[in-house]
Structure 1
Amino acid sequence: MAAITAALIKQVREDTGAGMMDVKKALTEAEGDVARAKEIIRAKGIQAAGKREGRNAKEGTIASKVIESAEGQIGYAVEVNSETDFVAKTPKFVEFADSIVDKAIAAKAASVDELLATADGEATVKETVEEAAALFGEHVKLGQFATIAGPHVEIYAHKRSVEMPPSIVAMIATDEAGAQVAHEAALQISALGAQWLTREDVPANVVESERRVATEKSLAEGKPEKIVPRIVEGRLNAFYKENVLLEQEFVKDPSKTVGDLFKKVGGKALAFARLEVGKGDEQ
């Protein structure tokens, strides 16, 4: 049994928003297994209490660009963080963020680590970002990074308000036929934040976790055991409809799925990415 430390409790509280006592009980029941503790919290229907109290929101912007390639198009998106939205909305900061995505393109970077290690004159991009603190008077860092490729790449950049730079960027790669509905799909990704393209893309361990949670929740609700498997499958399908892009209801017409949009034009969605300021892993 893993020791139930303050760090473990903090991690589960931040990830679930559950109260401290509920987290302690879940970790104890799970014998210190963080993933299992999260399942227990979900299965018991514990509502988020803290909502990550005490955490400072990250500010900044998402810089993005599509370039042409021999095989079609490539989309790049990089999160550049500042401490305040006051700095994030300045033209100089937006220009700096745009220069970072240009450096990613020039280096053909495939990850934020590759980008940071890229030479930038006599320095590296990492050193350039660190030195930007003097320019903006705030700590500056790179957060999330994404690149996708296909015959067509569509980008939708969402702004919280007119004066702010993009805080959400959705990218989707499609075949040529799918390009006809790529913009609508990008809007969908921005709004609803799907995690996977198809249900086959959902990792097996995630499916198994969802199955366990659905089973425990059904039993806790007093459902007869003989009908629990059917209820579990229904809840799994609901999970897919919420988290799988092609199975989500199309926001502009809930009678259709996003997959239906592509079927109508005889096209395919190949890959997608969604970056939102402040939503990446702590670095």
Structure 2
Amino acid sequence: MAAISLALIKQVREDTGAGMMDVKKALTEAEGDVARAKEIIRAKGIQAAGKREGRKAQEGTIASKVVESGEGQVGYAVEVNSETDFVAKTPKFVEFADSVLADAVKAGADNADEVLAAPSAEGTVKESVEEAAALFGEHVKLGQFAKVAGEHVEIYAHKKSAEMPPSIVAMVATDEAGAAVAHEVALQISAMGAKWLTREDVPADVVESERRVATEKSQAEGKPEKIIPRIVEGRLNAFYKENVLLEQQFVKDPSKTVNDLFKQVGGKAVAFARVEVGKGEEE
């Protein structure tokens, strides 16, 4: 029997678009005969993964976990997308997402590219995702990835309904004292979708754009020129209160800000992340 080399597998994969494991099985059955392996793939009706690439995968789930580290805790969240929520809610798809998360944690990945390159049962996570497309019969892809670290990390996973897996995951990293209000803050992040922790974290170009829009809007409204700077600052402050976590009104008690919650317990937040299914980069 001819050896089933990686080069042989790659050749058949490129010619058929089938997944790695399907190609390997076909080549083994065909005893290394490439032409016969292609026939077997066609006969079994194995759909080329490449043919699914044009189909959008905007459903899915988010697997998340907190792990202990030498400095405290690290929170991971990995979005895995499918085309339909029918597939997303199946136990096998949820189990697959958990396996991707486990590979990301084991590799200590810091971004989505490192998750894809992480070792997995099928070689790499990237290859496992490609294999999953054949398994589930839909375009499957790795979506957003988030990681936060601190003395304490709190995770809140939100489900749209009881039968669905998590569609929003909010994570917040705090110091030890801040852990006392971390759960409430995680709920806040999930519901209100803050983009930055402090106003100092807002990129300068974003601030400049908001300032420009506020100025032009004030001018279009016919506001007196001498009071426009004050109006612009007021509108900028409103922008911060909407988008900066620590400046947001606390949902359960609007008389307080999120920062007030931390002040009450003498703690602080150091980082946060929010991942929502289907809200990453467009394909």
- TM-score in terms of structure 2 length: 0.79
Cα separation, 1, equivalents of 2:86 and 2:133:
14
1:280 matched to which residue of 2?
Answer: 280
> Conserved in 1, the CA contact under 8 Å of 2:61 and 2:80?
yes
Could you say what secondary structure the match of 1:87 adopts? helix
2:268 matched to which residue of 1?
Answer: 268
Cα separation, 2, equivalents of 1:213 and 1:192:
23
CA-to-aligned-CA distance 1:173-206 (integer Å, 9 cap, x gap): 0000000000000000000000000001111111
1:207 matched to which residue of 2?
Answer: 207
Could you say what secondary structure the match of 1:197 adopts? coil
Structure 1 gap segments, 5+ residues each: 1-54
1:58 matched to which residue of 2?
Answer: 58
Q: Which amino acid counterpart does residue 116 of structure 2 have in structure 1?
A: L
Could you say what secondary structure the match of 1:160 adopts? coil
Q: Which amino acid counterpart does residue 89 of structure 2 have in structure 1?
A: K
1:282 to partner: Cα distance: 1.8
Cα separation, 2, equivalents of 1:118 and 1:218:
51
Worse overlay, 57-66 or 159-168: 57-66
* 1:166-245 alignment runs, 5 A limit: 166-245=166-245
Q: Which amino acid counterpart does residue 147 of structure 1 have in structure 2?
A: K
Cα separation, 2, equivalents of 1:265 and 1:121:
45
Cα separation, 2, equivalents of 1:246 and 1:129:
37
Report the count of equivalent residues: 229
Q: Identity rate of aligned residues, in percent?
A: 82
Cα separation, 2, equivalents of 1:121 and 1:168:
27
1:238 to partner: Cα distance: 0.1
* 1:72-151 alignment runs, 5 A limit: 72-121=72-121, 123-151=123-151
Cα separation, 2, equivalents of 1:80 and 1:181:
29
1:43 matched to which residue of 2?
Answer: none
2:4 matched to which residue of 1?
Answer: none
1:119 to partner: Cα distance: 2.1
Could you say what secondary structure the match of 2:232 adopts? helix
Worse overlay, 251-260 or 117-126: 117-126
Cα separation, 2, equivalents of 1:210 and 1:250:
24
> Conserved in 1, the CA contact under 8 Å of 2:152 and 2:174?
yes
Cα separation, 1, equivalents of 2:58 and 2:104:
22
Cα separation, 2, equivalents of 1:56 and 1:87:
14
Could you say what secondary structure the match of 1:211 adopts? helix
Q: Which amino acid counterpart does residue 174 of structure 1 have in structure 2?
A: T
1:123 to partner: Cα distance: 1.6
Could you say what secondary structure the match of 1:173 adopts? strand
Change (3 A) 1:92 1:188: same
Could you say what secondary structure the match of 1:135 adopts? helix
1:121 to partner: Cα distance: 4.0
1:56 to partner: Cα distance: 6.3
